[in-house]
Amino acid sequence: MVWTICFKEFKSLFKSVKSIITIAILFAVSYLVADLMESVSKIEDLGLDSNGYAMGIFSIVFLIGLLLISGLSHDIINREINMRTMRFLVTKSSRLKILLGKFFGIWLFWLFCIIASYILITFVSKEFFWSGVAECMTFITVGISFTILFSVVIPKPGVSMFFSIIFSLVFPAISLWALFSSNGWISWFKYLTPFYYSYLGGYFILINLVYATIILYVAIVLFKRRDL
């Protein structure tokens, strides 16, 4: 049942106008950055390595990824509850499987978008950046978990959309401030954000998977206790 819900959610995302716009944004940025990097004849002289081709995709995910994710999936749970379709789903499957199915459906959609964007870059760079895909997806996984949590906690889709937009603007701003600030009153906050571990790179990005798991676990616990 998990995968049935997963693929249903995956396919439904492609039917949304907002999804098409999101994909277009990712592809446009990928193409523009690839075209820019191709036009630079001496990349080494600028101090950039081949990973410079992937900067566009990672930058847009890092800066507005949370906003894009919440814009598409802010009502992933509360929409089903308000439409009374959730009651039908719980008669066919457990709440845990429903939530995991929704999570993996969104995750697969973003995996498709990110891989497709990097494939577009490959035509210029002649190299596929698997590390870039991993960095983007570990960060996006946190965003998906946050979005599901908000949709579980907030009962009305309209309110969850408003809150998700505010959160997607304020949280990155505070996180980046904490990341680059030397002020002890705010710099500690960076350890509580996925931005810090993405910024460190390497194996540190795996911490974001732990981060996402904790958030998703909280969402599952709250969802099990919620009246439908």
26 pLDDT above the threshold of 60: yes
Residue-wise pLDDT tens digits, 196-226: 999 888 889 999 999 999 999 999 999 988 7
pLDDT at position 170? 93
Task: With beta carbons less than 8 A apart as the criterion, state whether 161 and 74 touch.
Answer: yes
Tokens of 169: 């603007």
**pLDDT classification of 16: cutoffs 50, 70, 90:** confident
**pLDDT classification of 35: cutoffs 50, 70, 90:** low
**pLDDT classification of 148: cutoffs 50, 70, 90:** very high
Distance CA 105, CA 79 (A): 16
171 pLDDT above the threshold of 90: yes
Q: If you average pLDDT over each of 6-15, 47-56, 68-77, which comes out highest?
A: 68-77
More confident residue, 120 or 36: 120
Q: How far is CA 132 from CA 10, 18, 21, 126, in A?
A: 22, 24, 22, 15
Q: What is 199-215 written as a DSSP string?
A: HH-GGGGGHHHHHHHHH
Distance CA 160, CA 162 (A): 5
153 pLDDT above the threshold of 80: yes
pLDDT at position 107? 95
Average pLDDT, the chain: 83
Q: How far is CA 208 from CA 8, 38, 53, 116, 175, in A?
A: 26, 32, 24, 22, 14
**HSE, side-chain direction, 13 A CA sphere, residue 64:** 10
